[in-house]
Amino acid sequence: MALVDVTATGDDNILNTEQIEELITDDLRYRNRQLKKLQNEVLDLEEMHESISLTDFTLDDFRIELLGFIANNRRKLEEAPLGLYAVVPSPSGIHAQPSDTSRFAGAEKEIIRPGVIFCLKQKGDTDGNEEVSPLQPYFLVYIREDGTVRFNYTNAKQILEIYRLMCQGRKEPYEKLCELFNTETRNGEEMSKYTELLKKAVDKICHIFKKRMNQKLTSDRRALLIPQSKQVNNMDNFELVTWLVIK
Instruction: Encode pLDDT of 84-126 as tens digits.
Output: 999 999 998 888 876 567 778 888 888 999 999 999 999 999 9
Indicate whether 137 and 187 sit together in one domain: yes
User: Is 106 among the domain residues?
Assistant: yes
Indicate whether 8 and 124 sit together in one domain: no
Indicate whether 30 and 97 sit together in one domain: no
User: Is 49 among the domain residues?
Assistant: no
Indicate whether 17 and 79 sit together in one domain: no
Indicate whether 131 and 12 sit together in one domain: no
User: Is 47 among the domain residues?
Assistant: no
* Model confidence, pTM: 0.74
Indicate whether 115 and 220 sit together in one domain: yes
In the chain, % of residues over pLDDT 70: 75
User: Is 45 among the domain residues?
Assistant: no
Indicate whether 158 and 185 sit together in one domain: yes
Indicate whether 111 and 10 sit together in one domain: no
Indicate whether 29 and 111 sit together in one domain: no
Q: Tell me the range of 4-13, 22-31, 224-233 where mean pLDDT is highest.
A: 224-233
Question: Which amino acid, 202?
Answer: V
Question: Rounded CA gap, 200 and 141, in Å?
Answer: 10
How many domains is the chain partitioned into structurally?
2
Indicate whether 140 and 28 sit together in one domain: no
List the domain range (segments joined by +) for residue 95: 55-246
**Which of 132, 142, 131, 137 lies closest to 207, judged by CA?**
132
User: Is 105 among the domain residues?
Assistant: yes
8's enclosing H/E stretch is: helix 2-9
Question: Rounded CA gap, 160 and 180, in Å?
Answer: 25
User: Is 73 among the domain residues?
Assistant: yes
Indicate whether 80 and 198 sit together in one domain: yes
Indicate whether 206 and 102 sit together in one domain: yes
Is 117 or 27 the better-scoring residue by pLDDT? 117
User: Is 102 among the domain residues?
Assistant: yes
User: Is 50 among the domain residues?
Assistant: no
3-state secondary structure of 140: strand
Question: Rounded CA gap, 60 and 127, in Å?
Answer: 22
Phi, psi of 207 (to 5 degrees): -65, -50
List CB contacts of 123: < 8 A, sequence separation 6 or more. Answer: 137, 236, 237, 238, 239
137-157 average pLDDT score: 94
